[in-house]
Amino acid sequence: MTEYLTVTSASTEDESILRAAGVIRRGGLVAFPTETVYGLGADALNPRAVARIFAAKGRPTYDPLIVHLAGLEDLPRVAREIPEVVYRLAEAFWPGPLTLLLPRQDIVPENVTAGLPRVAVRIPAHPVACALLKASRTPIAAPSANRFGRTSPTSARHVLADLEGRIDLVLDGGPTDIGVESTVLDVSGGQPVILRPGGISRESLEALLGPVRLLTASPAGDSEPQVSPGLLDKHYAPRAELVLFHWRQSPAGVIEKMAEMAQERAARGELVGLLLADEDCEQFVDGAFQVFRLGSETGLEKIARSLFAGLRALDEAGVDVILARDFGEQGLGLAIRDRLRRAANRQVDV
């Protein structure tokens, strides 16, 4: 049985928070909202609790977990050899959707880092996550609270759809704000490298650090060594087939091509789902398709926030294929592209 509790006031005195903290302290699993997506948390210093995360998600043990902290003062407990740049990044972006890789302290169990020498850490900005971390008085290891390989959850309902009966408790703090996961950044070498684009944009990192390299995802099965296991795989996948459209000059041509393919597939008797910006919808007026509107293409925050809910909604509508479009690489566009790419069975350049 999975207990479900809504959080009304996110304080360390709140009954739901205290109950959830008790579950964490006893080695149980609690799903909770962060500002990015819902996380599936366990006591990061308890290897048996951490092992339960992998089991509940069906996640391979080579894929390491992010350790969440209540505050910067907890960082030296789990990480060492902390360079000055980490404090500059913390000042600018923590609490918030930035994850940093640092050499791990021995207190961090090996299964958290999948045996790697470094630990991924972040301080989340969501009031429920903060209250839970404080009340639990321990760092919390938490991947996204979905079954392995599926779309990350941005609501408590999504969590239950994937993990009901497999975890102890869900804290419902409403839909999450950012909607894509944190940016994973490696600052250990010369030039900083984004291992996973996310809620903190490349531009805002570059404003502070100078040029930042983006680790480009290579197709699964590639023989290149994986810098961050789990990051390059096909992932975030809806059940339906997903076709992603990229444009070279302008989005207009892309929408035309999407309309064409939509007609073709519908003519074959398939139920077609479309993941579109408000501006795109005029091309698809005849109502034969399942359309999910992500928001205006001029507001990438809204697009990112509704992206995973859109993929799940189209799946729930029972579509055979989802046609989605790229949103460029400015700001959150990069994270949106990364998630859609890794969910895609096929990509089309127009």
**Site for ligand TXA, rule CB under 6 A:** 34, 36-37, 39, 63-66, 97, 99, 101, 113, 116, 118-120, 124, 142-144, 181-182, 184, 228-231
For 25, 65, 96, 126, 252, the CA distances from 17, given in Å and listed in that order, are: 12, 22, 20, 13, 48
Of these partners, Mg ion, ligand TXA, none, which one is at the site of residue 23 (CB under 5 to 8 Å by kind)?
A: none
310 binds, options ligand TXA, Mg ion, none, Cβ within 5 to 8 A by partner type? none
Q: Contact between 144 and Mg ion (CB under 5 A)?
A: yes
Number of Cβ within 10 Å of residue 12's Cβ equals 16
Question: What span, in angstroms and rounded, lies between the C-alpha atoms of 300 and 195?
Answer: 21
**Cα distance between residue 95 and residue 146, in whole Å:** 23
Query: Cβ closer to ligand TXA: 65 or 254?
Result: 65
Given the complex with Mg ion, which of 238 and 251 has the nearer CB atom?
238
Q: How far is the CB of 249 from Mg ion (least distance, A)?
A: 34
What token pair was written down for 75?
Answer: 């960082």
Q: How far is the CB of 343 from Mg ion (least distance, A)?
A: 12
Burial category of 188 from C-beta neighbours within 10 Å (exposed 0-12, middle 13-18, buried 19 and up): middle
Indicate the residue among 99 and 306 with the shorter CB distance to ligand TXA: 99
Tell me which H or E stretch contains 67: strand 66-68
> Any contact of residue 228 with Mg ion (CB under 5 A)?
no
CB of 35 to Mg ion, least distance (A): 15
Of 1-9, 89-97, 114-122, 143-151, the segment contacting Mg ion by CB under 5 A is 143-151
Say what the alpha-carbon torsion angle 85, 300, 198, 28 is, to the nearest 10 degrees. Answer: 120
Q: Is 183 in the site for Mg ion (CB under 5 A)?
A: no
Residue 36 as a binder of Mg ion (CB under 5 A): the answer is no
Q: Which does 16 bind (CB under 5 to 8 A by kind): ligand TXA, Mg ion, none?
A: none
When CB distances are held under 5 to 8 angstroms depending on the partner's kind, the choice from Mg ion, ligand TXA, none that residue 182 binds is ligand TXA
Residue length of the chain: 350
CB of 76 to ligand TXA, least distance (A): 17
Amino acid at 89: L
As measured in angstroms, the least distance from the Cβ of 264 to ligand TXA is: 35
**Residue whose CB is less far from Mg ion, 181 or 297:** 181
Give, as one character, the DSSP assignment of residue 288: -
Q: Are 42 and 57 in contact (CB under 8 A)?
A: no
Give, as one character, the DSSP assignment of residue 299: -
